[in-house]
Amino acid sequence: MFSPLIIFVLLAVGYGWVECACPHGWILHGKSCYHFSHDTEEWIGALAVCRELGGQLVEIEDAAEDNFIISEARRRQNSYWIGLSDIQEEGTWVWMNSKIPLVPGDYTNWESGQPDNDDDDENCVNLEENFNMLWNDLACHTVQNYICERLAQNLDIVG
């Protein structure tokens, strides 16, 4: 008869363990890795840098992801670009990498009174430090930090 420990070891060896990993400078949360930039870019520049790094400007899908991002952003005390824009059609907010538009019922976390398209020139979304990291529409040519996201890499650990 096998002891529970031997069965556990046999299962671990037979099936392996899967761990997720992120590149240096990225933070693991769930199945994604996040890079909170230390440099600043206009929104379109941030979009390009994230792609060069093998990711995308972050697309926030739910409250759990948003809470993690807000916590990290507050700790760093910067405002950050995210991947949401209505640059193609005013008032139609679209996640730029996946091309998925926001529809009623989708998760959002707008600051009260936002989006407001102030001066008819706010087509990109940031997490605004002055609004406690809630979503805010802002002129895309504003220079600020940004958050990139990419899928974590699976590492098969057998042993």
The alpha carbons of the chain give a radius of gyration, in whole angstroms, of 19
- Strands 145-151 and 56-57, by their bridges, are antiparallel
Determine the 3-state secondary structure of 100 from DSSP. strand
To which residue do tokens 């020139």 refer? 121
Residue 22, pLDDT score: 93
Measured between alpha carbons, how far is 156 from 16 in angstroms, rounded to an integer? 6
Measured between alpha carbons, how far is 130 from 2 in angstroms, rounded to an integer? 60
Asked whether residue 3 carries a pLDDT value surpassing 60, the answer given is no
**pTM more than 0.85:** no
- Structure confidence by residue, pLDDT tens digits, 110-138: 999 999 999 999 999 999 999 999 999 99
User: What mean pLDDT is predicted for residues 34-44?
Assistant: 97
Residue 19, pLDDT score: 61
User: What mean pLDDT is predicted for residues 30-47?
Assistant: 97
User: What mean pLDDT is predicted for residues 56-76?
Assistant: 96
| pLDDT, the chain, mean | 87
Tell me which H or E stretch contains 74. Answer: helix 63-76
Residue 20, pLDDT score: 75
Measured between alpha carbons, how far is 80 from 126 in angstroms, rounded to an integer? 5
Q: Specify the amino acid at residue 53.
A: L
At the topology level of CATH, where does 26-157 sit? Answer: Mannose-Binding Protein A; Chain A (3.10.100)
Residue 99, pLDDT score: 96
| Three state DSSP letters for 115-157 | CCCHHHCCCEEEEEHHHCCEEEEECCCCCEEEEEEEECEEEEE
